[in-house]
A and B are shown apart, each in its own frame.
Chain A
Amino acid sequence: MAEMAAAGEEPEVLFWVGCAGSFDDRYKRVTIAFVRILNHVGIKFAVLGPEEACTGDPARRAGNEFLFQMQAMANIQVLNGYNVKKIVTACPHCFNTIKNEYPELGGNYEVIHHSQFLQGLINEGRVRVKDGQSFKGRKITFHDSCYLGRANKIYEAPRDVLAALDADLVEMKRVRANGLCCGAGGGQYFKEPEPGHKDVNVERVQEALATGADTIAVSCPFCMTMMSDGVKNQNREDSVRVYDIAELIAQREGL
């Protein structure tokens, strides 16, 4: 972004990578898949790189409002400094925070989740789902992220993206507004679960496995980890894979 700004250029959209997308080995692959799609389509986008910092979401939900607002203010200064207008992110938590919680602190942007962005590209015919791996006849189930679904009522965009794969989309029992959490939100990802008789991700993965799908599609870095761990817990990592919707599109496009 700094280079674009120095060259006096403006990107179509700023890609907010997020911490998981930047540092988590598994989710870096999602970042790369999404960037390949963007490059393939020819979207002029920018990233903040080292100037990006955690949105503060986990701190806020854990109760540390000071830390959240310190992060938020610093990020807003950077974003406003570059006169950013439109942001796309592959993390529903970043999405929710920047979209719903930054405006009150002075950060007003058009914020889109990558599922919506991909949906738009597919609808416009800019992403052509062919050339790559075929998904015909494969069963995919989609796990709703709380912060995309219930929090922001985005249920159709990721499903539309998956529908473009021409795969067999099978739904779990608890979906959309009734979708069951993966167990990571509200700071849970960063601590051991409280005592109980089961882990939330195991409960959810068992539900996903019951659909008979060979692919669990997610659209959130925390769901990605929780669902992948759950699949391992059930000893099904050989037959069932967890992918982000962007990775599936990239596979279909042969990118």
Chain B
Amino acid sequence: MEIIQQILFVAALAVTAWYITKRVKLIARAINLGRPEDRTDNAAERWKTMLLVAFGQKKMFTNLLVGIMHFVIYAGFVIINLEILEIILDGVLGTHRLFAPYITPVYPILIDVFEVLAFGVLAVCVVFLTRRFVARVSRLQASRHRELRGWSVPDATIILTAEIVLMIAFLTWNASDSVLRDRGVGHYGELQGVVPDFIISQYLKPLFAGFSDTALVAYERGAWWLHILGILAFAVYVTYSKHLHIALGFPNVYFSDLQPKGEMQNMPEITKEVQLALGLPLTTEADGSQENDNGQQPAEVGRFGAKDVHDLKWINLMNAYSCTECGRCTAACPANITGKKLSPRKIMMDTRDRLEEIQRGWQTHGDDYKDDKSLLNDYITAEELNACTTCQACINACPININPLDIILQLRRYRVMEESQAPASWNAMFSNIENNMAPWKFSPSDRFNWADQVNESVTK
């Protein structure tokens, strides 16, 4: 019996590992569709940002209560997973609470910590479900945000429910195990005097008082298997889910923008053309070449701006996979607040949906498959792009430094420079700048007329 469980357990581990590897490779390949850009500079500042924003969750504490609750789930996730090590070893070796005899004095303390966190995670997940479905926090409502009408809400519900089930499994497993130990059943009894009752699960013991020994062993095994299989299934599920932020949030913050939020990225390929047009000497930094990893020039000259995901930078695509669709960006967006179609969260979700569509194409039609769709138009419309005020509130609001504005601006560049599809009044503004050196139709020679009204001399 034991050996069958061990074989099943190793098989479950192997299948999970194989599947996750496959998923990670696929997602990495999708992210690498993006244009290369060096984000390894300034390591000290990047580590500092990651410590504060990712590990410290600094930006989550904008709302203190939500910040604390999210931190409980985060700490619970990281710390309870230490217990997974023992569970996995127990599963592989057919042992029971392998570490207990070796670290007897600290073992109950560790489990107590895990239990307190598990209870905390459980409680917070219930509060989070309540925020979604009872308190109806606006940014989480599909009725108000059309981008949530697909998989997003069920996805969140699955994740929160799964976490509640896993925590219940963990706590009741400990409780049933304690009862078995008290009764001295089989190998459970061997830890009598070694392992005491635990801080939370001791109160759950009465639930199992009426169980026969056989039923209790069945429950203990069932809860143990549910907990570990649940975790393995969760790990696979996460790679399909918005919940992937638990992994990608960290590198995403590490590689996030360090320059001032107002700084728009230069296009060196245009600098070169402008310098040629103005008869200026070409500067080396602006010779337009972005070397890739092999130190070679890109084979084809890209288009100006972005039409599809492969025109974006890899960090934009990592941003999309890291987004957990919390909607803080959209709740801060002046365009969205006033009823425009633009939603920064939708920009990120569309980018990820487009990437996943491309992945499905690879899987069904082979690795070289290209469809005739694009992020622009098939997913994101001109109306959305044109509504952006570039105020950077979305970047500021994102707890993991995602930058939806960067994608919006690259798509705008494509619309204007490749398709000449700027709104008519923008074209008028462009021609004023070009002809009058100001966005309005004033004569450049009148630029200094204000000085007449100063009544005091101004050096010209």
Q: In the complex, what distance in Å separates the CA atom of A112 from the CA atom of B74?
A: 42
Q: Which residue of B lies closest to A255 (CB)?
A: B456
Q: In the complex, what distance in Å separates the CA atom of A19 from the CA atom of B412?
A: 24
Q: Is the CB of B262 within 8 A of A100?
A: yes
Q: Which residue of A lies closest to B425 (CB)?
A: A191
> Taking the complex as formed, is B301 at the interface, i.e. its CB lies under 8 A from any CB of chain A?
no
Please, which residues of chain B bring their CB within 8 A of the CB of A60? 264
Q: Is the CB of A64 within 8 A of B389?
A: no
Which residue of A50, A147, A151 contacts B444 across the interface (Cβ within 8 Å)? A50
Please, which residues of chain A bring their CB within 8 A of the CB of B312? none
Which residue of B262, B334, B387, B414 contacts A151 across the interface (Cβ within 8 Å)? B262
Q: Which residue of A lies closest to B62 (CB)?
A: A178
Q: Is the CB of B260 within 8 A of A151?
A: yes
> Taking the complex as formed, is B267 at the interface, i.e. its CB lies under 8 A from any CB of chain A?
yes
Q: In the complex, what distance in Å separates the CA atom of A36 from the CA atom of B457?
A: 10
Whether A200 contacts B334 in the complex (CB less than 8 A), given A63-B305, A146-B389, A186-B389, comes out as yes
> Taking the complex as formed, is A193 at the interface, i.e. its CB lies under 8 A from any CB of chain B?
yes
Q: Is the CB of B270 within 8 A of A183?
A: no
Whether A194 contacts B341 in the complex (CB less than 8 A), given A54-B439, A178-B332, comes out as yes
Q: Is the CB of B260 within 8 A of A65?
A: no
Q: Which residue of A lies closest to B332 (CB)?
A: A178
Q: Is the CB of A191 within 8 A of B423?
A: yes
Q: Is the CB of B439 within 8 A of A28?
A: no
Q: In the complex, what distance in Å separates the CA atom of A98 from the CA atom of B386?
A: 24
Which residue of A49, A73, A152, A199 contacts B262 across the interface (Cβ within 8 Å)? A152
Q: Which residue of B lies closest to A31 (CB)?
A: B450
Q: Is the CB of A3 within 8 A of B459?
A: yes
Q: In the complex, what distance in Å separates the CA atom of A62 from the CA atom of B85?
A: 53
> Taking the complex as formed, is A101 at the interface, i.e. its CB lies under 8 A from any CB of chain B?
yes
Q: In the complex, what distance in Å separates the CA atom of A60 from the CA atom of B263?
A: 11
Please, which residues of chain B bring their CB within 8 A of the CB of A179? 393
> Taking the complex as formed, is A131 at the interface, i.e. its CB lies under 8 A from any CB of chain B?
no
Q: Tell me the smallest distance from the CB of B435 to a CB of chain A, in Å.
A: 11
Whether A180 contacts B393 in the complex (CB less than 8 A), given A28-B453, A194-B386, comes out as yes
Tell me how many residues of B have a C-beta within 8 Å of chain A: 79
Please, which residues of chain A bring their CB within 8 A of the CB of B454? 32, 35-36, 39
Whether A63 contacts B275 in the complex (CB less than 8 A), given A96-B263, A186-B388, A186-B390, comes out as no
Whether A19 contacts B439 in the complex (CB less than 8 A), given A70-B278, A185-B389, comes out as yes
Q: Per-residue 0/1 for B430-460: is the Cβ within 8 Å of any A Cβ (1 yes, 0 no)?
A: 1001100111101011111111011011111
> Taking the complex as formed, is B46 at the interface, i.e. its CB lies under 8 A from any CB of chain A?
no
Please, which residues of chain B bring their CB within 8 A of the CB of A32? 450, 453-454
Q: Tell me the smallest distance from the CB of A97 to a CB of chain B, in Å.
A: 8
Please, which residues of chain B bring their CB within 8 A of the CB of A4? 459
> Taking the complex as formed, is A192 at the interface, i.e. its CB lies under 8 A from any CB of chain B?
yes
Please, which residues of chain A bring their CB within 8 A of the CB of B390? 61, 146, 185-187
Please, which residues of chain B bring their CB within 8 A of the CB of A1? 459-460
> Taking the complex as formed, is A45 at the interface, i.e. its CB lies under 8 A from any CB of chain B?
yes
Q: Is the CB of B450 within 8 A of A49?
A: no
> Taking the complex as formed, is B391 at the interface, i.e. its CB lies under 8 A from any CB of chain A?
yes
> Taking the complex as formed, is A158 at the interface, i.e. its CB lies under 8 A from any CB of chain B?
no
Q: Per-residue 0/1 for B162-186: is the Cβ within 8 Å of any A Cβ (1 yes, 0 no)?
A: 0000000000000000000000000
List CB contacts (< 8 Å) of A7-27 with chain B.
11, 17, 19, 21-24
List CB contacts (< 8 Å) of A28-57 with chain B.
28, 31-32, 35-36, 39, 44-47, 49-50, 52-54, 56
> Taking the complex as formed, is B415 at the interface, i.e. its CB lies under 8 A from any CB of chain A?
yes
Q: In the complex, what distance in Å separates the CA atom of A196 from the CA atom of B341?
A: 7
Which residue of B262, B273, B387 contacts A194 across the interface (Cβ within 8 Å)? B387
Q: In the complex, what distance in Å separates the CA atom of A96 from the CA atom of B460?
A: 25
> Taking the complex as formed, is B42 at the interface, i.e. its CB lies under 8 A from any CB of chain A?
no
Which residue of A17, A44, A66, A194 contacts B274 across the interface (Cβ within 8 Å)? A66
> Taking the complex as formed, is B354 at the interface, i.e. its CB lies under 8 A from any CB of chain A?
no
Please, which residues of chain B bring their CB within 8 A of the CB of A152? 260, 262
> Taking the complex as formed, is A251 at the interface, i.e. its CB lies under 8 A from any CB of chain B?
no
Q: Is the CB of A11 within 8 A of B459?
A: yes
Q: Tell me the smallest distance from the CB of A41 to a CB of chain B, in Å.
A: 12
> Taking the complex as formed, is A136 at the interface, i.e. its CB lies under 8 A from any CB of chain B?
no
Q: Is the CB of A185 within 8 A of B450?
A: no
Whether A150 contacts B393 in the complex (CB less than 8 A), given A54-B433, A66-B273, comes out as yes
Please, which residues of chain A bring their CB within 8 A of the CB of B409? 61, 63
Q: Is the CB of B450 within 8 A of A104?
A: no
Q: Is the CB of A28 within 8 A of B271?
A: no
> Taking the complex as formed, is A71 at the interface, i.e. its CB lies under 8 A from any CB of chain B?
yes
Q: Is the CB of A100 within 8 A of B447?
A: no
Q: Is the CB of B417 within 8 A of A64?
A: yes
Q: Is the CB of B262 within 8 A of A106?
A: no
Whether A150 contacts B396 in the complex (CB less than 8 A), given A67-B433, A70-B278, comes out as yes
Please, which residues of chain B bring their CB within 8 A of the CB of A22? 438, 442, 446-450
Q: Which residue of A lies closest to B416 (CB)?
A: A63
Whether A151 contacts B425 in the complex (CB less than 8 A), given A31-B450, A96-B263, comes out as no
Given A36-B454, A63-B417, 6 new contacts (CB under 8 A): A52-B437, A61-B409, A147-B262, A186-B388, A195-B341, A204-B334
List the 10 shortest-distance A-B pairs measured between CB atoms, nearest first. A151-B262, A186-B390, A63-B416, A197-B339, A196-B339, A63-B412, A181-B391, A53-B437, A100-B263, A19-B438
13 contacts between A and B (CB under 8 A): A22-B450, A23-B442, A35-B454, A54-B438, A56-B433, A60-B264, A63-B305, A63-B412, A65-B267, A69-B271, A71-B433, A150-B261, A191-B426
